[in-house]
Amino acid sequence: QKEVEQDPGPLSVPEGAIVSLNCTYSNSAFQYFMWYRQYSRKGPELLMYTYSSGNKEDGRFTAQVDKSSKYISLFIRDSQPSDSATYLCAMSEGGSYIPTFGRGTSLIVHP
Amino acid sequence: NAGVMQNPRHLVRRRGQEARLRCSPMKGHSHVYWYRQLPEEGLKFMVYLQKENIIDESGMPKERFSAEFPKEGPSILRIQQVVRGDSAAYFCASSPMLGEQYFGPGTRLTVT
């Protein structure tokens, strides 16, 4: 079992839909949780950075962490074709500088 | 405020040649990380450096690969005697402290 599991997709949704992207993990020491967006042939772009359990909202994006279930989610409201990209989850232990990345989920938002 | 810079963006090398990849961190960032990304795989950590120090190279192959971050100038990832299996996208990231890492656009290495 990998430390971080993420369904590679692709996930195809119509414009305007609410998108839910998820990761599960096995290491209970993870405390920092991140979501990155990566467009084709570009570098990952940090979207959200959260510590411990709870929700964090930024515009159309909401990151949710459930440490008891070892499950994190990224919600995208009112999805746009420009949101089409690969979304990578990443997480690290407290005091660690090396995040563990998921494989990424490919999202396609069609007009 | 310029982001993380990497060059070259694309690099083609023949088997046995050397590849040098450069990374300039964001202004004010003193921590640099190198990752490798293969198709259908996630980002794999290679090495973490601060100015003039290698902090953690646990993800770097023991042979042919080396990295440095000199007092002046960019961080350099060097791959000697490249083989076809080295073909990948190599990303550099920087951070001001432990935590949030900001990535560069990557260097795509192709070994022919």
Q: Is the pLDDT of residue A97 over 80?
A: no
Q: Is the pLDDT of residue B1 over 60?
A: no
Q: Is the pLDDT of residue B89 over 60?
A: yes
For B25-75, give the DSSP string: PPTT--EEEEEEE-TTS-EEEEEEEETTEEEE-TTS-SSSEEEE--SSS-E
Q: Is the pLDDT of residue A108 over 70?
A: yes
Tens-place pLDDT, residues A13-35: 999 999 999 999 999 999 999 99
Q: Cβ A41–B31 below 8 Å, yes or no?
A: no
Q: Cβ A101–B56 below 8 Å, yes or no?
A: no
Is the bond into B8 cis (omega within 30 degrees of 0)? yes
Sign of the dihedral defined by the CA atoms of residues B7, B63, B32, B41, in that order: positive
> How far B11 CA lies from chain A's nearest CA (Å)?
14
Which residues in chain A touch residue B104, judged by CB atoms under 8 angstroms apart? 43
Question: B66 with B58: CB under 8 angstroms?
Answer: no
What are the structure tokens assigned to B97, written together? 């402290």
Q: Does A40 touch chain B (CB under 8 A)?
A: no
Q: Is the pLDDT of residue B40 over 90?
A: no
